[in-house]
Structure 1
Amino acid sequence: MREKKIIQTSLIAIVMNLLLVAFKMGIGLIANSLSIILDAVNNLSDALSSIITIGGTTLSKKTADKEHPYGHGRYEYIAALIVAFIILYAGIQSVIETIKLWLHPSQPKYSWWSVLIVTVAIFVKIFLGNYVQQVGIQLDSPSLKNSGQDAKNDSLLSVATLMSALSSLWLHFEIDKYVSVVIALFILKSGYDILNETLSRILGERISSSLTSSVIEAAKHVPGVCGVYDLFINDYGPNRWIGSLHVEVEDTTSASRIDQLSRKVMRQVYIETGVTLSAVGIYARNSHSEEVNEMRTGISKYCLQLGFVKQVHGFLVDQENKRIRFDIVVPFGIKSLNQKQMDLKEWIKKEYPGYAIDLTIDPDTTD
């Protein structure tokens, strides 16, 4: 249903944009107005973008296979990337035509018909942009979100074109070449922004806080889970997430109970968030030792006061073999981390002599 809705929305955008192209191009050629012609070219790039969106969405529906075991969802990101290049190309061509207009000025001949068409186009693009963008947000479609935002941007360009026509008709002052510069630069910036955002998703950007929070809360709903940590989520296309996490359980939990619990966590997370967990790791928690509880509280409090530790988890004390094991989460970019780690171990050894320290440093990959 998601892919079907994306295709339907894209078809509506194609039809509307092609109608705008026909009207604007005709008026632009009759009025000899480069700003209106460039506005039409921009609408044509929007229509092409919607066609690419349909292609990317159709390909993303392909089921997983041996060569692509995680499916083909990233085709949607590739489609968004192609859309960005189309818009950038349109922007470059607009700049070239604008330079020609400055070098060889021509006199536009606007009419009230051209003013009427541009005015109608403004309202059409605002309505179309809002509709497409809302559907894109609802379906988490980067191509639709980009197309919707681009359509709303186009309405601003049409406002500039309208100002050019009104200035010529009422004030007899030609600003067409100035408006053409604004439109050309606007198209370039729009293409750059879409390219930058899409590349970020392809490279693997940080997962949203709302999704990570939802996954953690879903796992906590399973009885027997004392804590959820080390969440990793990979994005294989819109609404296609595969991840892993660790849950903390009492150290008296049997292997059979752990097996049941991990399966319940996988099922609960998928039902509530749509995230598929490929693995659920286990941290054991000392359950009946006041001494260990005091050690956990003391060490955790000290770590969090250091300024570079965001979280302490996976804390377990092997009292028989005199070992303390725990993980700390640190943000990216911390300098002299090895030295800080050594200093922390030395402090623990002084506070709790005789214990060996197993300290693992985890990167701050998710909130």
Structure 2
Amino acid sequence: MAGVTSFAESVKKIFNPSTPTYSTLTLTVIITAVLVKLVLGRYVKNKGKKLQSDSLIASGADAIFDAFVTIATLLSAVVMLVWHVNLDGIFGTLISLVVVKAGVDMLSSPVSELLGKSISADFVRRIKEEVMSFDEVNGVFDVTLNYYGPQTIIGSLHINVLDTMSARQIHRLTRKITEQLMEKYGIIATVGIYAVNTQGELADIQQKVMKTVYGHEHVVEVHAFYFYEDTKVVTLDVVPDDEVHDDAAFMEHLTGHLKAVLPAYNYHLLIDHNYTE
């Protein structure tokens, strides 16, 4: 607000300049105002950082920006008194643009947090490594994490576990994972399950399907395999690389290949892009 108001007033002064007069009292008041605004702004901003309050940080920054606008007035007064050149409008316009730019950048932070800011790819990789440290986990997929403010990260992920695990064992595992993610990273996570077939016809079908799909050069990852024995339908998620731009055509191509290699089954594929790494 300080930047916009100052910009409007400064532009008016450029096109309609007036000869300002400065007294000792005026300059004293300007200097005092600058010092007070800088000290107050810095104090409020530091308090905001300590309390993790975006509103306090913004209030402190606004006071500091206002001080810079006042500094422009002070510089203009010095130039006017020494060289008798009126640069009040020009100085004010330049500093106002800087203040407006800084204000927009500052505003983008809380807006991103309200909408849910995505997490860095490096952080996602660390989370995957953390979850993979559990012996029962055979893969981590579909990691979705969003930042909703100070120490508030909410998301979900899926893990591969062997089909020999009981519901009680899986419950214990997911509980341990969520507790560890909360303790170490402050993440409120929901953990989903994908089963890895280890025996009989199901294991054979899964191995053949996975091998066939992974044989395509544009396939980065395959997960979420499931076989419906009553309908002979295979479902799975496929993550392609960045060179794939037509999901429907790519899915049709993969389905056709699977049908040619394993014609006894029908296939429902989901193209799942990686948005976090």
Root mean square deviation, CA, Å = 4.2
Instruction: Give distance in 1, aligned partners of 2:123 and 2:39.
Output: 30
Q: CA deviation at 1:183?
A: 2.6
1:66-121 CA-to-partner distances (Å, cap 9, x unmatched) read xxxxxxxxxxxxxxxxxxxxx3xx33322332244342513243769949975995
Query: Partner of 2:246 in structure 1?
Result: 336
- Indicate if the aligned counterparts of 1:328 and 1:362 stay in contact, CA closer than 8 A: yes
Superposition deviation, residue 230 in structure 1 = 1.6
1:229 to 114, 134, 141: 141
Note if 1:352 corresponds to 2:262: yes
**What is the rounded CA distance, in whole Å, between the counterparts of 1:316 and 1:91 in structure 2?**
58
Length, aligned pairs only? 273
Is the Cα–Cα contact under 8 Å of residues 118 and 162 in structure 1 kept in the other structure?
A: yes
**Residue 192 (structure 1) shift:** 3.0
Amino acid at match of 1:342: E
Corresponding residue number in structure 2 for 1:213: 125
Q: Unaligned stretches of 5+ in structure 2?
A: none
Instruction: Provide the secondary structure at the position in 1 that maps to 2:141.
Output: strand
Distance 1:107 1:120, change over 3 A: closer
- CA shift, 1:150, in A, is 6.0
Amino acid in structure 2 at the alignment position of 1:192: V
Partner in structure 1 of residue 194 of structure 2: 283
Give 1:203's match in structure 2, choosing from 109, 112, 115: 115
User: Whose Rg is larger?
Assistant: 2
Q: Cα–Cα, structure 1 residues 247 and 127, in superposed 2: closer, same or farther, change >3 Å?
A: farther
- Aligned residue runs from structure 1 range 1-367, under 5 A: 87=1, 90-101=2-13, 102-109=15-22, 114=27, 125=38, 132=45, 136=49, 141-143=53-55, 160=72, 163-277=75-189, 279-287=190-198, 292-293=206-207, 295-302=209-216, 305-306=217-218, 310-315=220-225, 323-329=233-239, 335-367=245-277
Shift in alpha-carbon separation, 1:194–1:330, aligned structure 2, 3 A: farther
Cα distance change, pair 125–350 in 1 and its aligned pair in 2 (3 A): farther
Query: Is the 1:220–1:228 Cα contact (8 Å) retained in structure 2?
Result: yes
Cα distance, 1:249 vs. partner? 0.6
Aligned equivalents of 1:351, 1:110: Cα separation in 2: 91
- How much has 1:346 moved relative to structure 2? 0.9
Distance of 1:179 and 1:208 partners within structure 2: 39
Aligned AA for 1:282? I
Matched residue type, 1:345: T
Q: Distance in 1 between matches of 2:204 and 2:123?
A: 36
Deviation at 1:361, TM superposition (A): 2.8
Q: How far, CA to CA, are the matches of 1:326 and 1:263 in structure 2?
A: 26
CA deviation after TM superposition for structure 1 residue 242, in Å: 2.7
C-alpha deviation, 1:132, in angstroms: 4.1
Q: Say if 2:30 and 2:70, in contact at 8 Å, map to a contact too.
A: no
Q: Report the Cα offset of residue 141 of structure 1.
A: 4.9
> Is the Cα–Cα contact under 8 Å of residues 119 and 162 in structure 1 kept in the other structure?
no
Deviates more, 1:284-293 or 1:100-109: 284-293
Deviation of 1:178 (Å): 0.6
For residues 126 and 214 of structure 1, the distance between their equivalents in structure 2, rounded to whole angstroms, comes to 40
Contact 2:233–2:268 under 8 Å retained in 1: yes
* Alpha-carbon spacing, 1:353–1:204, altered in 2? closer, same or farther (3 Å): same
Higher strand share: 2
Query: Structure 1, unaligned stretches of length 5 or more?
Result: 1-86
The answer (yes or no) to whether the contact 1:133–1:149 under 8 Å persists in 2 is: no
SS in 2 for 1:213: helix
Contact 1:247 1:282 survives alignment (8 Å): yes
- TM-score normalised by structure 2 residue count: 0.74
Q: Deviations over 1:51-70 (max 9, x none)?
A: xxxxxxxxxxxxxxxxxxxx
Does structure 2 conserve the Cα–Cα contact (< 8 Å) formed by 1:207 and 1:366?
yes
Determine helix, strand or coil for the equivalent of 2:164.
coil
> Is the 2:34–2:70 Cα contact (8 Å) retained in structure 1?
yes
Relative distance call for 1:134 and 1:258 in structure 2 (3 A) is same
Aligned partner of 2:236: which letter?
A: F
Equivalent pairs: percent with the same residue? 30
SS in structure 2 of the partner of residue 311 of structure 1: strand
Question: 1:115·1:165 contact (CA, 8 Å) conserved in 2?
Answer: no
| Offset of residue 282 of structure 1 | 0.7
After TM superposition, the score normalised by the length of structure 1 is: 0.58
Distance 2:221 2:43 in 1: 41
